[in-house]
Amino acid sequence: MRSKLRFFFMSPCEKFRARGRKPWKLGVQILKIVMVTLQLMLFGLSNQQVVTFQEESIDSFRHLFLKDYGSWNDETFSVYTQKDLYEYMAFTLNQYVQLPCLSLAKYGYLSDNNGFVAPLNVCKSFYKAGTVDPSNESFTINAVIKKACVDVFPLIPLNGTSIDETKNVLVTLFDKVNLTLDLYRLISVEISFRLKTINLQTVRNNEMPDCYLFSISVTFDNKAHSGKVKIGLDSDAKIGECRATNVANSSLVQKSTRYMMVFDGFVMTLCAVSFLLCTRSLIRSLKFSQEFVKFYTFHYNNPVSWAGRMEFVNGWYILITISDIFTIIGSIVKIAIESKRATSYDICSIFLGTSTLLVWVGVIKYMSYFKMYNILVLTMRAALPSVIRFCCCAGMIYLGYCFCGWVVLGPYHPKFRTLDMASECLFSLINGDDMFATFTEINGKGYLVWLFSQVYLYTFISLFIYMILSVFIALITETYECIKVHQPTSVLSMQPSAHSSHLFLY
Amino acid sequence: MRSKLRFFFMSPCEKFRARGRKPWKLGVQILKIVMVTLQLMLFGLSNQQVVTFQEESIDSFRHLFLKDYGSWNDETFSVYTQKDLYEYMAFTLNQYVQLPCLSLAKYGYLSDNNGFVAPLNVCKSFYKAGTVDPSNESFTINAVIKKACVDVFPLIPLNGTSIDETKNVLVTLFDKVNLTLDLYRLISVEISFRLKTINLQTVRNNEMPDCYLFSISVTFDNKAHSGKVKIGLDSDAKIGECRATNVANSSLVQKSTRYMMVFDGFVMTLCAVSFLLCTRSLIRSLKFSQEFVKFYTFHYNNPVSWAGRMEFVNGWYILITISDIFTIIGSIVKIAIESKRATSYDICSIFLGTSTLLVWVGVIKYMSYFKMYNILVLTMRAALPSVIRFCCCAGMIYLGYCFCGWVVLGPYHPKFRTLDMASECLFSLINGDDMFATFTEINGKGYLVWLFSQVYLYTFISLFIYMILSVFIALITETYECIKVHQPTSVLSMQPSAHSSHLFLY
Amino acid sequence: MRSKLRFFFMSPCEKFRARGRKPWKLGVQILKIVMVTLQLMLFGLSNQQVVTFQEESIDSFRHLFLKDYGSWNDETFSVYTQKDLYEYMAFTLNQYVQLPCLSLAKYGYLSDNNGFVAPLNVCKSFYKAGTVDPSNESFTINAVIKKACVDVFPLIPLNGTSIDETKNVLVTLFDKVNLTLDLYRLISVEISFRLKTINLQTVRNNEMPDCYLFSISVTFDNKAHSGKVKIGLDSDAKIGECRATNVANSSLVQKSTRYMMVFDGFVMTLCAVSFLLCTRSLIRSLKFSQEFVKFYTFHYNNPVSWAGRMEFVNGWYILITISDIFTIIGSIVKIAIESKRATSYDICSIFLGTSTLLVWVGVIKYMSYFKMYNILVLTMRAALPSVIRFCCCAGMIYLGYCFCGWVVLGPYHPKFRTLDMASECLFSLINGDDMFATFTEINGKGYLVWLFSQVYLYTFISLFIYMILSVFIALITETYECIKVHQPTSVLSMQPSAHSSHLFLY
Amino acid sequence: MRSKLRFFFMSPCEKFRARGRKPWKLGVQILKIVMVTLQLMLFGLSNQQVVTFQEESIDSFRHLFLKDYGSWNDETFSVYTQKDLYEYMAFTLNQYVQLPCLSLAKYGYLSDNNGFVAPLNVCKSFYKAGTVDPSNESFTINAVIKKACVDVFPLIPLNGTSIDETKNVLVTLFDKVNLTLDLYRLISVEISFRLKTINLQTVRNNEMPDCYLFSISVTFDNKAHSGKVKIGLDSDAKIGECRATNVANSSLVQKSTRYMMVFDGFVMTLCAVSFLLCTRSLIRSLKFSQEFVKFYTFHYNNPVSWAGRMEFVNGWYILITISDIFTIIGSIVKIAIESKRATSYDICSIFLGTSTLLVWVGVIKYMSYFKMYNILVLTMRAALPSVIRFCCCAGMIYLGYCFCGWVVLGPYHPKFRTLDMASECLFSLINGDDMFATFTEINGKGYLVWLFSQVYLYTFISLFIYMILSVFIALITETYECIKVHQPTSVLSMQPSAHSSHLFLY
């Protein structure tokens, strides 16, 4: 049993020396790291191109359909006067109608079933009924929200009309379908339309170009009725195969796609092998653990603790197994994308990215076979329970500060607007973010809130940076020293210890 | 006595096991955490809406009444020529007069007692008498400040006039009431008026809309007589119930308000119960402490120290008591707001926010019943006296730097303009704020000041980040190790200690 | 001798208890802290007003005399075309001529000895001779720099002329005095003039207004001959007493000035007393030290080391003495300013600021009489020699990086332009400044420089933040633990030690 | 042997005392530090001028040839409409043609072999064939890229034409050579030309002015076909000697150049001497080491380990040798630059900068002869193996995060766009960069990616800042304490140890 136990905890090198067993698993893992990273990089470059095309298209739409977008500071913009509101609306309509003469890319209008060009939709939402008279502090309101729409066809030439004329045209349009913009009742106006385009550039990478259908909506948001109407453009892309394609070097394109799929298949196979090897090892470990338990109970008449049994389950194998599963899923999605059956680039990148992260972390497993390389892993492993317990306590205080900051400072401070932003802001503050800006943002918002923010920020920062971070360092330092003492291979005396591998169990 | 003492320091779990006493208090606390957090979130969402409406309204006023506000970098703006000054004034007057045709929200002019529309007030402050002749270095001044006002009614149509004409109109207006703008005597011009509006959007959350009265004042500040007149708009909101309201689904609104109040009442009751339980425990502790003192003095003939007596007073109970009081006050204010009897949203949010923070911190109390979870609390508690003493010393140096930085760098560096900003800036620098920007801001302000700022910043940062922070870490590390040694449950040997709860006493 | 020695090292409290000696010195110090801080704050507020007036005046000049200054991003601006250059020049001249109708403050032209209004000076510097023909790669140059000037009187009305006409006028002017702008020879053009103004606002604080003489120069800098002419405005203020003044409440102004001087005198007296007491103590210490040396050599036949003798010299007294000298000098300058005999506000603020810093640091002396408060001071004092030695070594590496960064990255990276900026940038990087921005600034400046900057920044940051800072913390932690062990009053066992004051000696 | 060994490890001071050997080497090194730093500073100032001239010239070109460059936020800019595209092209052509009347510097057109002025080249790249119809989702494409060019001579006066006319002119030009801009096929348009200029300002430093040839290309990039055409200007400078020069004080210029070369020669000689001395020492060490090995094996019958032999090789000598080689190479390049035979300023600055860095680091060698100064060096040396091993493990996790961040966040987050930027961003985050901005950048890019970024950033920052940095501090602290214990000269007991120099061996 003892020799079996010793063999069980040997490194691949030692196993080879002891019984001549060749390190197949190690070889598979090294090949896997190279392959998975290569696959990730290939996918990354292709993914970047697709996302960039979408981002740039949305950027183009914003510049084409939003007036003076170049001078906006932000992706949303607000207008404050009636004249501006009508001008911005008219601009969007005008640009849609004149699109073919304006845009640098070739956009196609969508056609409906009868072959006619699809119109642009202008929809307004408003309270069903209501009159407001602030001077007399009186109002009548029916909070039921109604919606009314009107179509604008690109065929109607609004071309030569100046801004003022277009305003008239618009007002006329609204009148026709009883769509007067009663601003005190109006909740929002949405101008929506769809455009088609083709992402040609992929042809240079020997990939077949995709057809894109962009659903674009420009929103004029008057929900708050505060005299400020927010304007924004949203766009949603649907990627699909084009109907009629004719590429000069189509054979090359097909070949390149096929090679890529073969490569993906190879990575998948590799991961499957690695997965099988690891699960085999895991199952063996469990069996061996049961055997050992029987042996131990028999000889020493003492039950083996749960922690003792866990020693036999190698956490690294679990990590590698998860990484393999992620790679396989990612590769399947990748093949689906390449064969134009799916367009979920994000899901694929998350799976492949996470698996690569895990694969690289897994390299540490093989490093820790060389003595003294595993000090980081050992320290982190030993400190983990204390760290988790410690984080629970610190987390409570952190949560309390999050809630408190969100509710008190949220309305006045953009960094505390939502709960997750408050959390991000506090987390950043602990780690040395721009503190002065956070302090001064609250100036001039009322003395009480300012005073509270001062107390809040000074106590939070002092507590977390000075107290809690220091305790954290103390905790890790202590664990490290503990590990050092138990491990005979200290920094200065360099003799390797015969028992150091056992430490890993512990 | 001994068993009593042991029972006194037991955790709820142990008490349950020992005597079957059910953990009522624990149950109340857990329910309270859920309820208080829920209440906070409900209030937070409603509060955010109210504050956002006010902020957006002020933003609208700034865009409506301040010329070219969109291109300002800041909330204040300065003009430097006479022409600009007159143009900015004329713009504000013009916009007020034309308001109904301009604004996207419906604003109502205030009417005076006779039902007439209230005018806009233009007031100027100036030195009583004075002539200035810089060429001859001579001046006559009477520093008594006088004020003169003129009313502008929205009925006077300044509508079709161009900027130059308006300037004339304005000058005429000033002339009429002997209000010539002698710039060398002028201290400030204030244009003030009031507008009414209704915050309709709350109707969607089944709350009754409020009526707002905004007192707006545009100030042209020439106090410094430096050739730079600062322009700014301030607005003060007064929230009140509307006089005549007619909401279609008024029954729903009333029901929703009632439910909310019932919920608030429930939270208050819960807090009252928690408050009573905690005060009972506190009183019992004090009584038991006296009993113990008698017992101890009798048996050991040795007086119990003040610190020893304090062991019986549980700091957690005091924390929970304070949190309960804050929640109750906050809930009362919240009910007053819901029933439209108060509008102090800030006070309510501060009370509720602080109480939630304390409630979450209080959770640590229950965590520390589980062994090993209280290492953070123990370390912080043990380190507290040293930390406070340490902070006193460091605080003296910090204060010295604050004063020194404010007086020397203040006039040249925006981050040191006031004492509290200097303190914020130095505090941020310690914690890793944008240092290079702070360094370079002082460039080109004279060699002496630059040299001083270099010495000042280098010494301050080195002293605080390297020396003082390091001592702090050393202090905490030492305390932590001390605690570890006294507490048998080390990180590596996981057996729970029977005596660890006693450590908490200490 | 022993009792004398013991008495020497007693705290004021102990001295009072031992011999009933009243702590006069302590009383004087406490009064001094209050007074010095009060004086600093009074001066700070008045100083801020003076500096703000100057800064705002320069800002006004920039807006008045530089075209489109409002849209500049920086204090310097560049023009790239000949048309722009002439326009910017013409604008400055035009504005000077029309100043009285433009400015919001009242500026007076300077008059020369004959009572005529002083002209504006336009001076150009240029190479004595030279022709440049880049097409043929040939040039003739005489590097001697010549200067030619022309006067422009505000009486010449350039008023109604448009930009293009003014350009002609200018060109004509230059022609008249043979001042053609041969751009390839031109080094710089400087337009300089002087304006007078009065800082009236001080009258509200019951101070007599000052007369200011601003020497303004607008520079068009073509030194680099790179096709980019930099424009900037510099202004130099001279503050003086006005000649003819007539203030309505002049008696009040005089009284307020007198009170202020009395207060300053009181502070000076206080500091003089403190200075005398401290020097007396220092002299006594030295005498006592000599006495002790004799005694010790006689009894123990062993010479006292230099370090042993230094124990008798109290560093705190030296600190207080320096602070007193600074306060007295600062107060003298302050009185000179108040009596209008000096205008060196900066020097005064530096002296007063530094003295206040030292006074507050000096408070720690009295804190350290209470046991356990002096742990910070003790640790810092004990660590000082190691820290200095450590800093010498680290400083060498730091200096090497500074030189290297300046010469290699300087031309490409604005943060490394000069040696002191490189030092500031590296110092900021160690303390967590905006690192990503520093990294990316160098992108696109050539591959070699980019690669070097990567190696440079990664190694510098890793070396300093990870290695050197960690060694620093280790150094302080070790000293702290050492101090703790020697000082019986540990954090946990709270008994005060009888010998702790001796530790201070050590 | 023993005395020899002792002598070998003596410091120069001790050697002088022991045998009267004068410290020549030390003298050479000190002189070298001064000289090398002086040389670096002289070169730095001259280098800065050259680079500044190039940077300012490129800036001038951008302002001259790119429309509205002053209002761009970035060095690249995008246009979105056909009208803008033609306007920006026409502007560049127009400016080139009118250059002599526009620019403030004197630029010369290049002439071809026949003496005619060289034309500006307009080249467009486009797909060989293709039609795109997004409405029908059909396209025909031949991905072969073709290029077509047209010349525009500065002689053709496009001077008086308005924007619209120029557009027509351009279109006509394109038509003439069958160069219609079919936007759906167009990949890019490049306008390229060359200009000559002379950097006159060096004449003031008594250096001969250089002639510059700038190759400028304005690119309109439509690669992505996303409706966004990016515009950018690149410029490449070639520095050469001018053909015909005539400088008034040419003798002074020549003398100054000669002096500089003599100085460089002196530095080179000094470095050569230092290099020879160091290599001699290194060779002696090796010989002595072999001798010692023989002696040791003979007497103790025990082979000397590799580490033991390395003790005899002084790392400092290797450092100084490298520094010498770098200085010599740098000086040679510097002389080549001064004699107008090379223009590789960057290479020279990198060599001189690196050598200066090494020279300053080398100072620590001499410091460590004084006891107690070498604690930093000893600690870093002792910790190095652990640090490297530790960094390998941490580096794996870091690499994993880099890959993962690049592929998942890259397309959405500008800080993760390329692999090296992702690495810079993560490295900056660890060291306290602007974290909140990094968090919020990803908002509104899809829920899945946002969620991933949250998990990614929180885990990365927590892991690295809290766990890994703390382990690092623990590692250094432990090494430091170890060193302290082995070195008898502790912080508090100041007696120098006789054996401390041996520690350096170890």
Q: What is the pLDDT of residue D12?
A: 60
CA distances from B150 to A180, A452, B188 (A): 39, 40, 14
For residue B166, pLDDT over 50 is answered with no
Which residues of chain A, if any, have pLDDT below 50? 156-164, 166-167, 170-171, 174, 176-178, 488-506
Contact D467 A387 (CB under 8 A): yes
User: Quick check: C210 and C238 in contact, CB under 8 A?
Assistant: no
Binding-face residues of D in 7-66 toward C, CB within 8 A: 37, 40-41, 43-44, 47-48, 50-53, 55-57, 59-61, 63-64
- Nearest-Cα distance to chain A for D177, in Å, is 22
B415 at A interface, C-beta within 8 A: yes
Q: What CA–CA distance (Å, rounded) separates C487 from C484?
A: 5
Q: What CA–CA distance (Å, rounded) separates C352 from A54?
A: 62
Q: What is the mean pLDDT of residues D90-95?
A: 84
Q: Calculate ∠ Cα B120-B121-B126, nearest 5°.
A: 155
Contact D373 C394 (CB under 8 A): no
Binding-face residues of C in 61-90 toward D, CB within 8 A: 78-83, 85
List all chains that touch chain B, counting a touch as 3 or more CB pairs closer than 8 Å: A, C
Q: What CA–CA distance (Å, rounded) separates A453 from A440?
A: 10
What residues of D are in contact with residue A387 (Cβ under 8 Å)?
466-467
Measured over all CA atoms, what is the biggest interatomic distance in chain C, rounded to whole angstroms?
99
Contacts of D432 (CB under 8 A, 6+ apart): A431, A432, A433, B432, C432, C435
User: Quick check: A373 and D392 in contact, CB under 8 A?
Assistant: yes
Q: What CA–CA distance (Å, rounded) separates D385 from D387?
A: 5
* B446-455, Cβ contacts within 8 angstroms, sequence gap of 24 or more: B446/B412, B446/C346, B448/C346, B448/C347, B448/C350, B449/B408, B449/B409, B449/B412, B449/C346, B449/C350, B452/B408, B452/B409, B452/C350, B453/B408, B453/B409, B453/B413, B454/C420
- Nearest-Cα distance to chain B for C208, in Å, is 11
Q: What is the pLDDT of residue B329?
A: 93
Q: What is the mean pLDDT of residues B387-394?
A: 84
Q: Across the interface, which of D352, D415, D491 has its CB nearest the CB of C479?
A: D491
Please write the tens of the pLDDT for every residue from D372-425.
666 777 787 788 888 888 888 888 889 999 999 998 888 888 888 888 889 989
Torsion sign over Cα D339, D344, D346, D350: negative
Q: What CA–CA distance (Å, rounded) separates C93 from C122?
A: 9
Nearest to C77 by CA among D70, B379, D330: D70
Q: What CA–CA distance (Å, rounded) separates B208 from B339?
A: 10
Q: What CA–CA distance (Å, rounded) separates A349 from A331?
A: 10
Q: Across the interface, which of A246, A247, A433 has its CB nearest the CB of D434?
A: A433
- What radius of gyration do chain A's Cα atoms show? 32
Terminal-to-terminal C-alpha distance of chain C: 20
Nearest to D169 by CA among D90, D283, D239: D90
The pair of structure tokens assigned to C417 is 């332009």
User: C256-280 burial by CB neighbour count: b if 16+ within 10 A, else e?
Assistant: bbeebeebbeebbebbebbbebbee
The pair of structure tokens assigned to A348 is 């694929």
Please write the tens of the pLDDT for every residue from C138-187.
888 887 888 888 877 765 444 444 444 444 554 454 444 445 677 888 88
List all chains that touch chain C, counting a touch as 3 or more CB pairs closer than 8 Å: B, D
Q: One digit per residue, pLDDT tens: chain C, 506 residues? A: 566 666 666 666 666 666 666 677 778 888 998 999 999 988 988 888 888 898 899 999 999 999 888 877 777 788 998 888 888 888 888 888 788 888 888 888 887 666 677 788 888 888 887 788 888 888 888 878 888 888 777 654 444 444 444 445 544 544 444 456 778 888 899 999 999 998 888 887 788 888 899 999 999 999 888 889 999 999 888 888 888 778 877 788 888 888 889 999 999 999 999 899 888 888 888 888 888 788 777 777 777 777 667 667 777 888 889 999 999 999 999 999 888 888 888 889 999 999 999 988 888 877 777 666 667 777 877 888 888 888 888 888 899 999 999 988 888 888 888 888 899 899 888 887 778 888 888 877 788 888 999 899 999 988 888 888 888 888 888 888 887 776 544 333 333 333 333 333 33
Q: What is the mean pLDDT of residues B232-236?
A: 90
Nearest to C96 by CA among C191, C7, C22, C163: C191
What residues of C are in contact with residue D350 (Cβ under 8 Å)?
408, 448-449, 452
- Nearest-Cα distance to chain A for D26, in Å, is 32
Q: What is the pLDDT of residue B488?
A: 47
Please write the tens of the pLDDT for every residue from D421-463.
899 899 888 887 778 888 888 877 788 888 999 899 999 988 8
Q: What is the pLDDT of residue D154?
A: 65
B287 at C interface, C-beta within 8 A: no
Which residue out of A403, A419, A460, A462 would a mutagenesis test of the B interface target, given it has the greatest number of B Cβ atoms within 10 Å? Answer: A403
| In the block, residue with structure tokens 């819901």 | B338
User: Quick check: C397 and C422 in contact, CB under 8 A?
Assistant: no
Q: Across the interface, which of A228, A408, A432 has its CB nearest the CB of B56?
A: A228
Contacts of A3 (CB under 8 A, 6+ apart): none
For residue D463, give the DSSP letter.
Answer: I
| In the block, residue with structure tokens 């203030």 | C247
Q: What is the mean pLDDT of residues D38-42?
A: 90
With cut-offs at 50, 70 and 90, classify the pLDDT of residue D501.
very low
Contact C347 B448 (CB under 8 A): yes
User: Quick check: A417 and A373 in contact, CB under 8 A?
Assistant: no
- Nearest-Cα distance to chain A for D258, in Å, is 52
List all chains that touch chain D, counting a touch as 3 or more CB pairs closer than 8 Å: A, C
Q: What is the pLDDT of residue C442?
A: 80
Q: What is the mean pLDDT of residues D157-181?
A: 49
What residues of C are in contact with residue B404 (Cβ under 8 Å)?
353-354, 356-357
Q: What is the pLDDT of residue B474?
A: 85
Contact B446 C352 (CB under 8 A): no
- Nearest-Cα distance to chain A for D505, in Å, is 13
For residue B396, pLDDT over 70 is answered with yes
What residues of C are in contact with residue B222 (Cβ under 8 Å)?
104
Residue D244: exposure state from Cβ atoms within 10 A (0-12, 13-18, ≥19): exposed
* A237-241, Cβ contacts within 8 angstroms, sequence gap of 24 or more: A237/A54, A237/A57, A237/A212, A237/A213, A238/A212, A238/A213, A238/A214, A238/A343, A239/A50, A239/A210, A239/A211, A239/A212, A239/A343, A240/A210, A240/A211, A240/A212, A240/A213, A240/A343, A240/D137, A241/A208, A241/A210, A241/A211, A241/A340
Residue C230 corresponds to which amino acid?
K
Q: What CA–CA distance (Å, rounded) separates B90 from B173?
A: 11
Q: What is the pLDDT of residue B501?
A: 34
Which residue out of D357, D372, D480, D486 would a mutagenesis test of the C interface target, given it has the greatest number of C Cβ atoms within 10 Å? Answer: D357
Distance of CA B414 to the CA centre of its chain: 22
The mean pLDDT value of chain B amounts to 80
Q: What CA–CA distance (Å, rounded) separates D255 from B12?
A: 94
* D422-426, Cβ contacts within 8 angstroms, sequence gap of 24 or more: D423/D398, D424/C435, D424/C436, D424/C439, D424/C440, D425/C436, D426/D398, D426/D401, D426/D402, D426/D460
Q: Which helix (H) or strand (E) holds B152?
A: strand B138-152
Q: What CA–CA distance (Å, rounded) separates D479 from D377?
A: 12
Q: Which helix (H) or strand (E) holds A477?
A: helix A469-486
For residue B168, pLDDT over 80 is answered with no
Q: Across the interface, which of B102, B360, B376 has its CB nearest the CB of A81?
A: B102
Nearest to A338 by CA among A247, A239, A216: A239
CA distances from B390 to B375, B386, B474, C372 (A): 22, 6, 12, 9
For residue D158, pLDDT over 80 is answered with no
Contact D392 A367 (CB under 8 A): yes
